Structure 1
């Protein structure tokens, strides 16, 4: 029976951990002979020897070592599933480690984080903020927020937003190089490029033309792999950038950045919260996924449409000033904001 098999796994793991049949039997509250019989039956069922036995010690065989690792994994999964139901009435609790891109963390997540704490005070948060690829298993991370299409089949992903992307530059850059009005003009411009932390590859720009995504390779004088550094380089006048509108909104408002090519919007970037398949029953992970989905859905700017974030108190955006509108009019960029 299935439960007998689980019992055999638990007994086997306990014997290995205790390095003794007698100590394992004592800790399990079983007669030593029962423990011995269970191990013998398990070896007979598997048709392999799991343990080398001498009068002084026991040790794992190669097959035993492999089976032990499988048992640890299976029993851990069972324990986590059982704990999730056992603790459901008490609410989510324990340490939750998440990782988010630095800009999303600082501008969207952190300003609202105390709301999560008030809802789930028994959850201890450990938040990593970086734009690098994170190995959830090796780094013991419970869930991540990431942009783009997630290709990792070991993760369960839930889309929570879609960021509108705009092309923009500083007035200083546009005064020196002019305002591009079509894709062909870009061959006379330079960009701040962004490269992947994982592969080192420069990420191509793209524009939507008649519903089709058109990739464009841009020349650059500087490339970075951090969202905030990317925007800062644009502010300094290094070149054109393609950036999520929520990252640029305050600079658009102040006139430090100006949108160009508004008729050729880049493809929206999907944003997902992702977690390992074996974490889907964890109350703390489920609580965070539901909360962050609610947070992102409450802000119109994160819906992928070109709208002001009036309903998102963490991302206030005032109407552009008359002075700024005059500057934009002079550059034939009416309606860019």
Structure 2
């Protein structure tokens, strides 16, 4: 009888120790995970064993690495209609993928409700459940990348093209951290891009930085960032954007040659023909704002880059103008088009 009582006591002690150990390690895991998530991007790290949800952040939304990434590197909070059209068109073309707009001027997003309220300021986007807004914090984004030492010593006030140079840096860091597809905010999506790993040619001899897709922590992105720093010439337009892509692609693969409109392979990634995003080249950028007798089909294109940097005249889509850009708005971003057409109070 005494032996049975002793065995029962030992059993109770083992159960108690197991419970204490389990509680300790769950709490330890909580504190470790909580320490790893930046303060500005986490909601609350919650204990999933109690049925509570995990953190709401860009890390959570983009955890599968299939996001479509846009960004605004100025403090502007009233983006022009072209930006809204670009994001809406991506949301429509990629309904099963998160479309995330990172904005420097956006206040911290601490809860899902914060994000929803921020999105309500953009009525043409608020109806799309796959669109998300998050703040862009450049110093934290570039942390633990080759770009951080450059960022710590660069003086934005002395940079001629700081908005564009900082944008070049951020796109590399976003791709390194999250993966997916990056698009400039003047790119209107037409149809899904079938490849996950690609860079694109802007011309037959020059690579593009406006659209590219890679997995997170892909080694090629690291080489882009290293080249950015090693060859930094911020006073030369394009040197840190398409210049980086061109130098790295040429160094690794030689300059690819197109014998037709077919894409070519560079190692394990696709190198897209200029027709995929640039059927209208930058010298002819005004063509988007002109009336065409016969509208182009763009059957060889996945998206269209509208060369907003070239648009010093401030041309925009005008309802009723019958221009090419109006037709693109009507088809690819009808909510944005309708909003403008109704002449509601807007900053468009």
TM-score by length of 2: 0.26
TM-score by length of 1: 0.27
Considering fraction of residues, name the structure with more strand.
1
Bigger radius of gyration: 1
